[in-house]
Amino acid sequence: MDYNFRALEEKWQKFWEKDKTFHCEIDQNKPKYYVLDMFPYPSGAGLHVGHPLGYIASDIYARYKRLNGFNVLHPMGYDAFGLPAEQYAIQTGQHPAITTDKNIKRYKEQLVKIGFSYDWNREIRTCDPDYYKWTQWVFIEMFEHWFNNKTQKAEPIERLVDIFAQEGNKNIDAATGQDDVFTADQWNSMSEKEQQTILLNYRLAYLADTMVNWCPALGTVLANDEVKEGFSVRGGHPVVQKKMKQWSLRISAYAERLLNDLDKLEWPDSLKEIQRNWIGRSEGAEIDFTIKDSDSVITVFTTRPDTSWGVTFMVLAPESDLVQQVTTPEYEKDVKQYIEDTKKRSERERLADAKTVSGQFTGGYAINPLTNQEIPIYISDYVLMGYGTGAIMAVPGHDSRDFKFARHFGLDIIQVVVKKGEKPSDPKTWDDSYDAKEGKIINSGFINGLEVSDAIEKTIQHLEDNRIGKRKINYRLRDAIFSRQRYWGEPFPIYFKEGIPYPLDKDKLPLELPEVDAYLPTEEGEPPLARAKNWETPDGYHFEYSTMPGFAGSSAYYLRYMDPKNDNALVSKEANEYWQDVDLYIGGTEHATGHLIYSRYWNKFLYDIGWVCKDEPFKKLINQGMIQGRSNFVYRIKGSNKFVSYNLRKNYDVTPIHVDVNIVDNDILDIEAFKNWNPEYKNAEFVLEDLHDGKAGGKYICGYAVEKMSKSLYNVVNPDDVIEQYGADTLRMYEMFLGPLEMSKPWDTNGIDGVHKFLRKFWRLFFDEENNFNVSDAEASEDELKILHKTIKKVQEDIERFSFNTSVSAFMICVNELTDLKCNKRQILEPLLILLSPFAPHITEELWSLAGNKDSIAYADFPKFKEKYLIESFVEYPVSFNGKMRFKIKLPVDINAKEAQEIVLKHEQAQKWLDAKSPKKVIFVPKKIINIVI
């Protein structure tokens, strides 16, 4: 019987489906284990060979845990709302649901072919109304809660209303956009509309005028993590800042918890660091500067209150509301002009111009509350409205940006911090400011002589005592903009009455996405949903026109898998208490500042309101590396249709041209396929070379480069093609063999033969010369047992530390050794089958069943490693002289240092290296090494 992987893999995939092998249910008698992949967006291009890398790793682990008696939840689904389907709809008029459905079918086909052990019964799609019902439900819950800073928790909005009615808002410490204080009487005399407007400032899901990232090309706003360097992450279109009324999630309320709880997660340090930077906690103080001849104040945030005596000017963000107040008539025209200029510049230009200083004096002055000095107020775009208070106190002596600004406008620079070991100097002679938070304070009143850290403390104390400022922790993390002016997303369960948003009754959910006549904005510029007929409540109040962003559907999907068909709850208490959280989450690092922050926030909110039992969703997380493409090149002689082989190209004037990697094997071009690849090359001629000496001869060798895997570079490798040629088991093992899971590496089909050969060799262990299945029941020899148990130990350790590449090589070593021993004993081969089954599930199921086992190998018992088979009576010691290994010697395992030394020194080789000298020292490390120092 031959290893017919095509027939055998199809057979077992069908079996698993029919037998429901991987369906799982709550089972209180078994410990649970939840293994999750970041679910894919089903794009039209299908999966390429890079996508399944993480899925294979998680599948190996899921299968490993099953063999170890765990009840494993291992689901898969689709992040199905998204831009590409909508853009395709705009171009073709085809409903995005149809495109999405088609793509999902293709994805599923491809996934099934790789032999993943998913419980397909739990498949979810974020665009399914039964699914997004719960996305909408969570949104309403957020709408109906506020964040209490005192308890650091979300609390029901009704409770807040009660407090307002009794004591106003003066005792409330909330995460809020509400600055004004009101009394109970004031609250009680307000109209419904006024009250609702105030409540919006407290809700965790709120509607407010916000500076947003507006992408004109996509016709929508984008969240911060969807913008990179002034361009949209999807599509690369320019993004500008714009003030718009938008839904936001008050994620910034959770900044402290999101930051602190990172410590309890088993995530890669680099990923935690990215999140820490994204949250961007900084400690400092807010200080109030009074505007001259006015009662108004400019509040600034600073991390360096100790440098307050070095303030020589202030800068406001051009968008700041205070600009108008401080600007004198004399400067009004120039200020207006500067603001106009800033608006015109895109974010991109602002970044590119980062080094050129620009700004405008307003004519206004403020009073430094610590020195009582008058200081001029400028506006400049280096101060951002979105961070801190949108205003800064400028300390040019100790902040490099302020320094540049001061130099440019000829403003004073005062030294207030002296670096350790240096003397005060004239700032006029400086090349740059001294920014470090170290040194002694000078020129600064009551903090003179203090160290910076003490000076900061003392200054803050002073500010608070005199009510001119307060201690303040600032976060870079902004609230998440939650509206998108698009069609293909979750509708908001919100309607508007007199301009005030109200949530739909939860029992009316889901609010289904309506049909529209076109997937474009209306002529008035309203989002596509404004085109829908009857997009309103029975009372005629229209629904929200925006839809939710991509991260809405992916923020709680891991909870839905626990109980995917539940019509009464996102997840039942029972299911949540059993499955708890994700034990292992595998996915790319690109979600570090998006999905992985939103999910954590979403989960913490659900935890606060008592719907989930764990306050962090993903206990352990692994980032799989990217699989890059490996492109091949042919070299065309300029002005001809003649191609030169790689090593001969230097003799000609050539242009490298990308060639489809699928017609190249081990860098050797299939010339016939190349001629058929593109009509242009039909009559191409070739200068060939001989393989080893680079002389003209018989083969066309291609050049190569590692690049992104992309259609346009002709380096996309499709898993279906690999499976067709080698089988899914080979694909799975080869992807693991390629290198460490976390590392990025190029897909290189050269080498896949080695893994395939290994599986053939493994297969042959079970068959005799006549090719009949033949497994012997004879007792295994010591050598055979040793090989088996060595492999069990190695593979188990490797799986547990996710070092799958080394486990594959352990299997190769094992099979090579067993082949040498011609071992066909059941006692060895059956445990080996189980050991290999997480990696190569199809071939092992087949051999397991041929060996007479009735049940799927998926639920067999993982073999137990027994130390006794590895115990050796002798150890081969490397003997080195001054650290250089010279020869080896076999010594009894329990020998002591003195005995070993005696034997070694008598050895003829040792005599040679000693050269009649006596050793200074002999180091004996048991079971490791002997080193002789001469």
Write out the binding residues for RNA, residues 499-558 only, by CB under 7 A. Answer: none
Residue 917 in contact with RNA, rule: CB under 7 A: no
Minimum CB separation from RNA for residue 792, in Å?
12
**Sole window of 300-308, 421-429, 551-559, 780-788 interacting with RNA (rule: CB under 7 A):** 300-308
The token pair that represents 737 in the structure block: 């063999």
Q: Which is nearer to RNA, 547 or 623 (CB)?
A: 623
- Contacts to RNA from residues 201-220, by CB under 7 A: none
- Contacts to RNA from residues 104-133, by CB under 7 A: none
- Contacts to RNA from residues 662-681, by CB under 7 A: 666
DSSP per-residue letters across 427-444: GGG-SS----S-SEE-S-
Cβ within 8 Å of residue 681, ≥6 positions away = 641, 674, 675
Site size for RNA (CB under 7 A): 93
- Contacts to RNA from residues 762-801, by CB under 7 A: 794, 797-798, 801
Residue 310 in contact with RNA, rule: CB under 7 A: no
> At 642, which helix (H) or strand (E)?
strand 642-644
Contacting residue, 497, 760, 786, 790, with RNA by CB under 7 A:
760
> At 228, which helix (H) or strand (E)?
strand 227-228
- Contacts to RNA from residues 13-42, by CB under 7 A: none
Minimum CB separation from RNA for residue 920, in Å?
8
Contacting residue, 154, 207, 392, 833, with RNA by CB under 7 A:
392
Q: Which is nearer to RNA, 134 or 278 (CB)?
A: 278
Minimum CB separation from RNA for residue 795, in Å?
10
Minimum CB separation from RNA for residue 393, in Å?
7
List strands edge to edge, sheet with 71-73.
71-73, 32-37, 582-587, 618-623
Is the torsion defined by CA of 366, 368, 372, 373 positive or negative?
negative
CA 872 to chain centre: 46
Q: Which is nearer to RNA, 681 or 865 (CB)?
A: 865
Minimum CB separation from RNA for residue 391, in Å?
7
Q: Which is nearer to RNA, 387 or 502 (CB)?
A: 387
Residue 921 in contact with RNA, rule: CB under 7 A: yes
Q: Give me the phi and psi of 214, to 5 degrees please.
A: -105, 125
CA-CA distances (angstroms) from residue 900 to 254, 546, 876, 916? 64, 80, 12, 19
Q: Which residues pair with 643 in a beta bridge?
A: 636, 686
Contacting residue, 816, 855, 861, 897, with RNA by CB under 7 A:
816
Cis ω on the peptide bond leading into residue 376 (within 30° of 0)?
no
Contacting residue, 758, 766, 839, 862, with RNA by CB under 7 A:
758
The token pair that represents 415 in the structure block: 């030294």
Minimum CB separation from RNA for residue 666, in Å?
5
Minimum CB separation from RNA for residue 345, in Å?
9
**Sole window of 130-138, 150-158, 271-279, 569-577 interacting with RNA (rule: CB under 7 A):** 271-279
Residue 885 in contact with RNA, rule: CB under 7 A: yes
Calpha distance 111→126 (Å, rounded): 18
Look up residue 213 and give its DSSP letter.
E
Residue 303 in contact with RNA, rule: CB under 7 A: yes
Minimum CB separation from RNA for residue 153, in Å?
26
Minimum CB separation from RNA for residue 122, in Å?
32
Q: Which is nearer to RNA, 207 or 227 (CB)?
A: 227
Contacting residue, 42, 284, 376, 553, with RNA by CB under 7 A:
284
**Sole window of 181-189, 321-329, 507-515, 739-747 interacting with RNA (rule: CB under 7 A):** 739-747
**Sole window of 18-26, 280-288, 528-536, 836-844 interacting with RNA (rule: CB under 7 A):** 280-288
616 CB neighbour count, 10 Å cutoff: 18
Cβ within 8 Å of residue 250, ≥6 positions away = 142, 147, 175, 203, 204, 205, 206, 479
Contact 382, 315 (CB under 8 A): yes
- Contacts to RNA from residues 449-478, by CB under 7 A: 474, 476
Q: Which is nearer to RNA, 317 or 326 (CB)?
A: 317
Burial of 171 (0-12, 13-18, 19+ CB in 10 A): exposed
Q: Which is nearer to RNA, 650 or 884 (CB)?
A: 884
Q: Which is nearer to RNA, 856 or 931 (CB)?
A: 931
Residue 3 in contact with RNA, rule: CB under 7 A: no
Minimum CB separation from RNA for residue 822, in Å?
11
b/e per residue, 567-595, with b = 16+ CB within 10 A?
Answer: eeebbeeebbebbbbbbbbbbbbebbbbb
Minimum CB separation from RNA for residue 373, in Å?
18
- Contacts to RNA from residues 580-599, by CB under 7 A: 589-590, 592-593
The residue among 484, 485, 543, 486 whose CA lies nearest residue 512 is: 543
Residue 4 in contact with RNA, rule: CB under 7 A: no
Q: Which is nearer to RNA, 362 or 931 (CB)?
A: 931
The residue among 396, 388, 391 whose CA lies nearest residue 357 is: 396
Q: Give me the phi and psi of 357, to 5 degrees please.
A: -85, 135
Residue 399 in contact with RNA, rule: CB under 7 A: yes
- Contacts to RNA from residues 365-384, by CB under 7 A: 381-384
Contacting residue, 740, 786, 851, 914, with RNA by CB under 7 A:
740
Q: Which is nearer to RNA, 75 or 396 (CB)?
A: 396
Minimum CB separation from RNA for residue 849, in Å?
25
**Sole window of 18-26, 272-280, 544-552, 575-583 interacting with RNA (rule: CB under 7 A):** 272-280
By three-state DSSP, how is residue 34 classified?
A: strand
Calpha distance 261→317 (Å, rounded): 33
- Contacts to RNA from residues 685-704, by CB under 7 A: 691-692
- Contacts to RNA from residues 819-838, by CB under 7 A: 820
Minimum CB separation from RNA for residue 46, in Å?
24
Minimum CB separation from RNA for residue 240, in Å?
14
Q: Which is nearer to RNA, 141 or 729 (CB)?
A: 729
Residue with tokens 């570079």: 713
Pairing of strands 884-892, 297-302: unpaired
Look up residue 121 and give its DSSP letter.
G
Minimum CB separation from RNA for residue 488, in Å?
25
Contact 903, 889 (CB under 8 A): yes
Q: Which is nearer to RNA, 219 or 703 (CB)?
A: 703
Contacting residue, 179, 180, 263, 269, with RNA by CB under 7 A:
269
Minimum CB separation from RNA for residue 804, in Å?
10
Cβ within 8 Å of residue 515, ≥6 positions away = 532, 533
> At 109, which helix (H) or strand (E)?
helix 96-113
Minimum CB separation from RNA for residue 13, in Å?
25
Q: Which is nearer to RNA, 154 or 596 (CB)?
A: 596
Minimum CB separation from RNA for residue 665, in Å?
9
Contacting residue, 7, 165, 217, 351, with RNA by CB under 7 A:
351
Looking at residue 633, its amino acid is: F
The token pair that represents 496 in the structure block: 């508007």
Residue 161 in contact with RNA, rule: CB under 7 A: no
The residue among 256, 160, 243 whose CA lies nearest residue 203 is: 160
By three-state DSSP, how is residue 716 classified?
A: coil
Contact 462, 61 (CB under 8 A): no
Cβ within 8 Å of residue 718, ≥6 positions away = 46, 47, 48, 49
